[in-house]
Structure 1
Amino acid sequence: MDEIRRRAQSVLSVSGSAQDVKTEVLAMANTCLPLSEKYQHLEVEAILRENLEGDSPPKVKVYCH
């Protein structure tokens, strides 16, 4: 996963086009990993805490670093 990510970052830094990293993005999306590892940049605890507060229906809010 890290190697694919590095390759995508390298291609993107040279071309600046998201279309040029489509293959790498699809490869990362299709990699079988535990969700906690695949989406480690998400602050799951904060999402759950916000979903449990108040009377409104649960919502998923995504926070990225």
Structure 2
Amino acid sequence: MSKLSFAAIVVVAAFSGAASAQSADPRGACKADYDKFCAGLAPGGGIVACLNGKRDQLSATCKAALDSRKKK
């Protein structure tokens, strides 16, 4: 296997792992939705409540992260 092929596999694996980790963490999975719908709220200022209030407009990734947060 060439070094370039190996490097490409490593990069793809790293990104796929980061994507799955991000979907489990609402801070990463919901960043774009937070920026769009709840910007200006500080931590502890009801960010989760704000996001849940806009649930029908959130990305699927953010919804899944919020759902996994409820199960813990």
Greater share of helix: 2
Q: TM-score, normalised by structure 2?
A: 0.27
Q: Which of 1 and 2 has higher RCO (CA within 8 Å, sep 6+)?
A: 2
Q: TM-score, normalised by structure 1?
A: 0.28
